[in-house]
Chains A and B, each alone.
Chain A
Amino acid sequence: VIWVYGICERPELPPPRRRGLAQAPLDGVREGDLLAVISRHVHAPGEPALDALWVHERVVERLMADRAVLPMRFGSKLPDDESLREALVANQESFVAALDRVRGRVELGVRAMATAAATPAADELLRASYLVERTAVPQFRSVVERLQRIHPEVAILCTGPWPPYSFVDSGEVRATEPVA
């Protein structure tokens, strides 16, 4: 089974020299202008336990340190190299366009709930993901903090920076659809 962490640009750069899930070494499958960063497994690894999630997340973040990456969601698996190459070829154009869209940017999550003092039920007011220039993250954060100060009746939670998982089209993600 091939576990896919992300699809990135600059295929001439080798994958990071670190371990993936189940301590498997990372490998790259190159196709045209794209590199899929993967690990190979006899048995599909990774219950979505927190540790495993974090290994996946760290690999994607490491990749993002030196190039644009389309993060694959945890659980993206393919049966073999051939099907991976097929997916890369079939989606080459949309992957390249998506890479342009996310380059230099990160995802920030914002949730806002009405606090108990305001309403009997904890009502969700907002759940959103934002694609933000990496350099603008501190500014975004201070805006959230200011909003929180102005609106004590709302609890605002802001998380990140995440790889832009929410900004990779699900049709594209399906290219690496999980195998049973």
Chain B
Amino acid sequence: MNDSPADKLLAAPLDLDPFARDLRRLDDALTGRIEADPENVERGLAQLVLTIVELLRQIVERQAIRRVEAGNLDEETVERLGRTLMALEARMGELKETFGLSDEDLNLDLGPLGRLL
């Protein structure tokens, strides 16, 4: 039994940033659509994005901790990981504020947690 989604990482590149960037593009697109049509906010989808962002954040964090512990990170990489984490944290906060977390729209077919990962 695993204890955290981060343990679902079987193999990962040294730099997870391409995936973080891709995720930001996804939720940017989503936010754009919602702003264009505020009467038809897809809250379930927003919640999904929140979840994925959080999952990715945990994974990046876990990776960073492992590498720091292993002592095989140069300073630049540590800094970049830190920035990625901070960007994800900030994005989480914005999304939470935009959509609220008391979402009652549970009619969601989420699929594998790994779909976006």
Binding site for B on A (CB under 8 A): 44-50, 53-54, 57-58, 61-62, 73-77, 107-109, 111, 113-116, 122, 124, 129, 137, 140-141, 144-145, 148, 155-163, 165-166, 173, 178-180
Q: How far is the CB of A180 from chain B (nearest CB, A)?
A: 6
Which residue in B13, B16, B47 is a CB contact (below 8 Å) of A47? B47
User: What would 18 A/B residue contacts be, using CB atoms closer than 8 Å?
Assistant: A48-B51, A75-B107, A107-B112, A109-B114, A109-B115, A137-B10, A144-B10, A148-B11, A148-B13, A155-B13, A160-B10, A161-B10, A162-B114, A163-B112, A165-B111, A166-B112, A178-B106, A178-B108
Q: How far is the CB of A129 from chain B (nearest CB, A)?
A: 7
Contact with A along B54-95 (1 / 0, CB 8 A): 110010000000000000000000000000000000000000
**Beta-carbon contact of B17 and A116 below 8 Å:** yes
- B8 interfacial contact with A, CB 8 Å: yes
CB-nearest residue of chain A relative to B15?
A155
**Beta-carbon contact of B13 and A157 below 8 Å:** yes
**Beta-carbon contact of A107 and B18 below 8 Å:** no
Measured in the bound complex, the distance between the Cα atoms of B117 and A140 in whole Å is: 17
Task: Give 6 closest A-B pairs by Cβ, nearest first.
Answer: A165-B112, A109-B114, A155-B13, A74-B110, A113-B18, A158-B11
- B21 interfacial contact with A, CB 8 Å: yes
**Beta-carbon contact of A141 and B11 below 8 Å:** yes
Residues of B within 8 A of A173 (CB): 109
**Beta-carbon contact of A73 and B19 below 8 Å:** no
**Beta-carbon contact of B113 and A57 below 8 Å:** yes
Residues of A within 8 A of B103 (CB): 47
Residues of A within 8 A of B107 (CB): 75, 178-180
**Beta-carbon contact of A48 and B48 below 8 Å:** yes
Residues of B within 8 A of A155 (CB): 13, 15-16, 18-19
